[in-house]
Structure 1
Amino acid sequence: MRDTLRAQLWPLPTLGVVLAVVAGVVLPRLDEQFQHDIPPWLSDYLFSGNADAARSVLEAIAGSLVTVTALTFSLTVLTLQLASSQFSPRLLRTFTADRYVQTTLALFLATFTYALTVLRTVRTGEDERSGVPHMSVTVAFLLTLASVLGLVLFLSHLAREIRVETMMSSVHSAADRTIQRLLPHREDAPYRNLAAEAHQGNPLRPPSNALTLTVGTSGFLTSVDEDALLNAAVAADAILVIDRHPGSSLITGTPMGAAWPRTSERFTPETQARLTEAASKAVTTGSERTDHQDIAFSLRQLTDIAAKALSPGVNDPTTAVHALSHSSALLCELTQRHLGPHLLLDNDQQVRVVLQRPNLEDLLDLAVTQPMRYGAAEPAVLARIAMLLRELAWTSTPAHQPPVHSALTRLRATIDAQDFHPTERLQLTELTRLIGEALAKQQAHGPTP
């Protein structure tokens, strides 16, 4: 729920409007109660006009803030449209989750609402100063100054955010947070040993009579409630395997995993019903992918940017090269983490739940396959893919070599199929040779420091 609200434009502006209404009701009452007790030094800084002047100021503030809010919203929509058409539709979530945009809209709408709410308390037809909420009008003036400053800062922020480098940096930062939150470091010995022991004791492959767990609601798998699955497995003395990872597209009624008894032959009908219901409730689906538990989502965004940059209508290989650089950094970080299935253990350190997660082969294929296909005729793109594989060879373990070897074979085939200038072909061939050397050195001595 928190992740969903974070990616929406309306919660923070709505909160600003509510607070503005409260302030617009409370402050005029405080004005009326304490207007004769205000120290002279403070009253010199407060609004000093009569009721007509107060109404004119508040009307001007309300009218101008409506225009500014409409302008801000239009610029935001234009930016979303640009990001969708020029880079990737999956980048829209980055903009709607931008706290700066949300705060700016909240400030403008709060100022407008506050000015209107205070305006209804200004009474005309009386003496020069009675019926005028001086402190409230002053607060409206200060909010207007803050809104003007916010507009300037918003325009500066927007000009920076629509740059593709800023977008890719934001995606990279979000990916780093997801990796650090979900994936333990591979040097975390207790975690590694427990996982190895569990795999040695049980291959965790569903038997032929296993209970099939089906999807309850169609959509993208956004999150899995690990505690709920573990509790259900312990209560039923069962082993659960969820073979679809966050980011997968799920269809109602199709299999998403299996469960089988750990000791007995089969489940009772009541146990089957409880396990099926618990698994269905523990798996949350949504209309779009999110980075909450989806490790591959950020790589998908970066690959989309690279593929869009390599399209004939854009033809921007430099952006594709930069996107591959970010993908390389993420892949090198992922090689330092535990990839593959995530094991949930009970109090006796026995495997109860197995959650599928992408391995290095899946992630590497996601990062390089489309750029290699769409950028096959561009030596700069193929050179960056070669550097990506070499960087991955330097930082990975021997267990990670097969995916890198496979990608290197595809890269060599792609280079051989192109009609490059001899100089370009020589440079690319040299890069592929260096990848082979790095893999050989890593096989012999382990990852390069």
Structure 2
Amino acid sequence: MQRQRTGNTRRSGPRLLNAARQRRAAFQDAWRSRLWPTPTLGVVLAIAAGLGIPELDSALDQQIPSRLADYIFGGGANAAQEVLGAVATSLITVTSLTFSLTLVTLQLASSQYTPRLLRTFAADRFVQRTLALFLATFVYAVTVLRTVRGGSDGGAEFVPQIAVTVAYLLAMSSVLALILFLGHLVRQIRIETMFEQVCADIKSTTHRLLDRIEDRREHDFTPTPPDDAPLVTAPASGFIVQIDAQALVEAAVEADVVIWVDRAVGSDVVEGIPVAMVWPADPAAGVLDDERLASVRERIASAIKTGIERTATQDIGYGLRQLTDVVVRALSPGVNDPTTAVHGLNSCSAILCDLAGYRLGRCTLRDADNSPRVVMARPDLPDLLDLVIVQPQIYGSSDPVVLARLLSMLRELAWVVVLTSHRRAIADRLRQLETATAELALAEPDRQQLATLTNQVREALDRRWSPS
């Protein structure tokens, strides 16, 4: 017997986004991360304007007020054709140049920093809107050009004065946009700007998905799946990019089961490999019948969306993965840029300190009766800390500056964490760093500095802060 109707499900504890909001966030991310939608929309609007404004010219004919006529195009058909032709020719050249510069920037970001930053670059709205303006101006000029008629063929001359004037204004706007685009592009390829954008994406995802820690309690009780719990396999190979938590809760309530999602958003999965488990909510109910089990499996599979690349829509750790990749690339012998690595670790530290104030880790979603219905995997702070520290420690072990920044990160994080489990994770990571540092052949001043930082981390864990 079902315990609760679907419509009576409610959020308890972790933030539960409704399906419509999840789809909207996924659609917005898909729209923003591609270069073609905004320019395509600009081309469509340009065609509509190129067809509509000449009709307005024809309807007004000679009814344009004299004061306004002084500010619009006043030449003949030949002059209008020359202006429109010049605008179309120059704008397609500028558009080609802009596309080339954009592709060069994407190539630089991929080779110099990390391929996972390409999505961030492609989502740049300024670049998308600039390309849309250039293409729209070209298409508009070509569309209006076809409406200009001279009187040499015996027909009436028609010069769409307003339409030609609009083409001139669009051309001037495109010149200004080109200047701003070049300045914007120079700013975008700076590593500090990239870090700022990635951090903004992480904070946006965090604030949208997670709840703040209101007390020092550890995670709520999480039901443990029985040994014979039926498995649910991945619907497709790739990365988990979205999980519809609302749909899972509704499916669990309707079937009166508990669903355990074993893989977090951002995990790579293989089709046919288990990603979830399901078992009856009432232990006395016995095993699930085949029909109900098949229905639940189908709904779970449809609620878990996979893709070829990770996105920031629901993936809490994706931004930290981007930042860490930049740090590791900067520490490679081919790049050898420890300053960039330290800047990247600065951003990682800021994000981790922000995340320390949210409830991370596996979460339990409950129904209106406060019964556990869905258990979802999520990265905890220790997992994210390992993500940020392990690889930079390996590849930057010979650089005392990098090691010092890692210890400073632990110190800063130790000062802001509130949960005991998080403090234990920092202490464990500190011992590992201390062991690795002891085996290195470092100069005595560097070794003393690292020893001082190690002691300062321990002091921060005890809520003490000594001057640097």
TM range (shorter): over 0.9
Q: How does 1:282-297 map to 2 (within 5 A)?
A: 282-297=303-318
CA shift for structure 1 position 74: 0.4
> What is the aligned partner in structure 2 of residue 71 from structure 1?
97
> What is the aligned partner in structure 2 of residue 35 from structure 1?
61
Q: TM-score, normalised by structure 2?
A: 0.91
- Deviating beyond 6 angstroms after TM superposition, the runs of 4 or more aligned structure 1 residues are none
> What is the aligned partner in structure 1 of residue 115 from structure 2?
89
Q: How does 1:222-237 map to 2 (within 5 A)?
A: 222-237=241-256
CA contact (8 A) 1:340 1:358 kept: yes
> What is the aligned partner in structure 1 of residue 193 from structure 2?
166
1:307 counterpart = 2:328: yes
Deviation per residue, 1:325-355 (Å, 9 max, x gap): 1101111111111011122111112110011
> What is the aligned partner in structure 1 of residue 213 from structure 2?
186
> What is the rounded CA distance, in whole Å, between the counterparts of 1:437 and 1:14 in structure 2?
57
User: SS of the residue aligned with 1:361?
Assistant: helix
Letter of the aligned partner of 2:174 in structure 1? S
Which shifted more, 414-423 or 243-252?
Answer: 414-423
Gaps of 5+ in 1: none
User: SS of the residue aligned with 1:158?
Assistant: helix
Deviation per residue, 1:251-288 (Å, 9 max, x gap): 10000010000111111111111111001100011110
Deviation per residue, 1:377-427 (Å, 9 max, x gap): 101100000000001110112231121112111211221121111111111
Rate the CA distance shift 1:129–1:381 in 2: closer, same or farther, 3 A. farther
CA contact (8 A) 1:49 1:129 kept: no
Gaps of 5+ in 2: 1-26
Letter of the aligned partner of 2:358 in structure 1? R
> What is the rounded CA distance, in whole Å, between the counterparts of 1:184 and 1:441 in structure 2?
24
Q: How does 1:382-393 map to 2 (within 5 A)?
A: 382-393=403-414
User: SS of the residue aligned with 1:28?
Assistant: helix
> What is the rounded CA distance, in whole Å, between the counterparts of 2:88 and 2:156 in structure 1?
22
> What is the rounded CA distance, in whole Å, between the counterparts of 1:342 and 1:132 in structure 2?
67
Which shifted more, 98-107 or 414-423?
Answer: 414-423
* 1:24 alignment partner, one of 50, 74, 78: 50
Q: How does 1:22-421 map to 2 (within 5 A)?
A: 22-126=48-152, 130-187=157-214, 196=220, 199=221, 203-263=222-282, 264-397=285-418, 398-421=420-443
CA shift for structure 1 position 130: 3.2
> What is the rounded CA distance, in whole Å, between the counterparts of 2:289 and 2:417 in structure 1?
46
Q: TM-score, normalised by structure 1?
A: 0.94
CA contact (8 A) 2:324 2:387 kept: yes
Letter of the aligned partner of 1:287 in structure 2? I
> What is the rounded CA distance, in whole Å, between the counterparts of 1:47 and 1:438 in structure 2?
71
Aligned length: 435
RMSD: 1.6
User: SS of the residue aligned with 1:206?
Assistant: coil
Deviation per residue, 1:22-67 (Å, 9 max, x gap): 1000110110110211000000101011101100110110010100
**Identical aligned residues as a percent:** 50
> What is the aligned partner in structure 1 of residue 21 from structure 2?
none
CA contact (8 A) 2:151 2:157 kept: no
1:15 counterpart = 2:41: yes
User: SS of the residue aligned with 1:340?
Assistant: coil
* 1:432 alignment partner, one of 444, 454, 457: 454
CA contact (8 A) 1:84 1:91 kept: yes
User: SS of the residue aligned with 1:329?
Assistant: helix
> What is the rounded CA distance, in whole Å, between the counterparts of 1:348 and 1:100 in structure 2?
48
Deviation per residue, 1:124-169 (Å, 9 max, x gap): 2359993100000000000001111111111110000000010001
CA contact (8 A) 1:50 1:128 kept: no
> What is the rounded CA distance, in whole Å, between the counterparts of 1:169 and 1:188 in structure 2?
30
Deviation per residue, 1:210-233 (Å, 9 max, x gap): 110110111110010111111100
